[in-house]
Amino acid sequence: MSRVLTVIPQAWGAQALEAALGAAQQVSAGEGFAAVLICSQSSAQDAELATRAGARQVYQSVHAALGECDEPQVLVAAVAEALRAIPRLGGEVPLVLLPPGPQGEELAALLADSLDGQAVGRCVVLRFEGDALLAERTAWGGRMRVSLQVNRGPAFACLRAGRALFNIEASADIFTIELHGHLPKALTLDKRESGQRLPPLEGAKLVVSGGRGVNEQGFALLEQLALSLGGTLGGSLPAVDAGMVPVMRQVGVSGKFVSPHIYVAVGISGTLQHLAGVSLESCIVAINQDPDADIFKVANLGIVAPWEALLPALLDELR
Ligand SMILES: Cc1cc2nc3c(=O)[nH]c(=O)nc-3n(C[C@H](O)[C@H](O)[C@H](O)COP(=O)(O)OP(=O)(O)OC[C@H]3O[C@@H](n4cnc5c(N)ncnc54)[C@H](O)[C@@H]3O)c2cc1C
């Protein structure tokens, strides 16, 4: 039995299936892996894809009550039942891979809890060295790498790898597991309009953020700047604490992670806790009156000026 197994909920679609197979292929490095397809109806097409990607065993784990349900809180019961039903994985530290992304990470953590395993989370590197599993994760917005060694399994993780390669000649043992365990009820969502004029931080191509150096009048100008450039508004923790921006717009280690093309930081000193929320790929434009502010060490473009002088002129120019 191979030591890498990938669990793929059918309701997460073809992209999740291919991403999970690509990750399993990369980590198993030609040793082969097992694939557990979680579905309400078995799919010969998905089983064939997993086989062609290098799965040596494919477990079609069918629970009729799953339907289109894609919620990790519901899926965890079905996946745990399927994992208990299949033969023990090989190696000292068996690795269970979930499709990369927020849902996969949540399911990985729930499974680790329910099956007494290790939650390794979102990894950028996963490989075996002897019996140990080595993992690398990024932290502080990609500015640091954390290396982990897992000596006791099973480990539950996600890895974003390249595209899976498919081999038409491959073959696998295909099994069907009938699942009957009780599934918790899916959460019912109550959708409402938020009343927010500005788009959310998530996915914004341009974010204009203000810090402790900016007051209420300044934030009104930052909002105008963000809107006129088709972007959105963010803030540092002190700006949130001062009530200038809602907490859902806080950028940083205890706020949101953003990866816009352009990040405009106004009256923000550039602490590590704040920068942890800004992608390394973003182009940082800093406006600060202190030429020695740390933000200028990471900014692609720095303007030494008080915002009171600069923002009105900039908005006039944009008009
Ligand atoms: C566990 C922990 C988690 C944290 N999480 C976060 C987080 O998620 N996000 C976050 O932001 N912080 C976080 N912090 C706080 C962080 O350490 C800093 O205190 C914070 O980032 C500083 O915010 P700031 O740059 O707005 O303020 P300051 O560091 O006070 O900087 C204000 C800047 O404004 C400039 N300025 C002043 N007046 C003007 C003017 N008129 N024109 C132009 N520039 C001016 C000043 O020169 C200065 O550089 C966290 C801290 C801890 C301990």
Domains of the chain: 4-178 (3.40.50.620), 206-318 (3.40.50.1220)
Q: Are 137 and 148 in contact (CB under 8 A)?
A: yes
* Closest C-alpha residue for ligand 1 atom 30: 212
Q: Are 207 and 264 in contact (CB under 8 A)?
A: yes
Ligand 1 centroid–CA 210 distance in Å is: 9
Band of residue 67 on the pLDDT scale cut at 50, 70, 90: confident
- Can you tell me the mean pLDDT for 278-300? 97
Structure tokens at 147: 């290396």
Contacting residues for 30 by C-beta, under 8 A, at least 6 apart: 54
- The residue that leads in pLDDT, 3 or 143, is 3
* Residue 130: predicted pLDDT: 85
Q: In whole angstroms, what is the distance from residue 225 CA to residue 233 CA?
A: 9
- Percent of the chain at pLDDT > 90 equals 79
Total-model pTM: 0.77
* Residue 239: predicted pLDDT: 98
- Can you tell me the mean pLDDT for 53-62? 96
- Can you tell me the mean pLDDT for 195-215? 92
- Can you tell me the mean pLDDT for 213-219? 97
- Average pLDDT over the chain, rounded to an integer: 93
Ligand 1 centroid–CA 218 distance in Å is: 15
pLDDT in tens, 15-57: 999 999 999 999 998 889 999 999 999 999 999 999 999 999 9
* Closest C-alpha residue for ligand 1 atom 50: 273
Q: Left (φ > 0), alpha (ψ -120 to 50) or beta: where does 66 sit?
A: alpha
Helix runs in the chain, H state only: 13-28, 44-52, 72-85, 102-114, 216-228, 237-241, 272-275, 295-298, 307-318
pLDDT in tens, 141-200: 788 899 999 988 799 999 999 888 888 788 999 999 999 999 888 777 788 776 677 899
* Closest C-alpha residue for ligand 1 atom 47: 290
* Residue 140: predicted pLDDT: 80
Best residue among 212, 241, 247 to mutate for probing ligand 1, ranked by most atoms within 8 Å of CB: 212
β-pair type (95-98, 4-9):
parallel
pLDDT in tens, 79-108: 999 999 987 766 666 999 999 999 999 999
Picking from 267, 269, 272, 266, the residue whose alpha carbon sits closest to that of residue 293 is 269
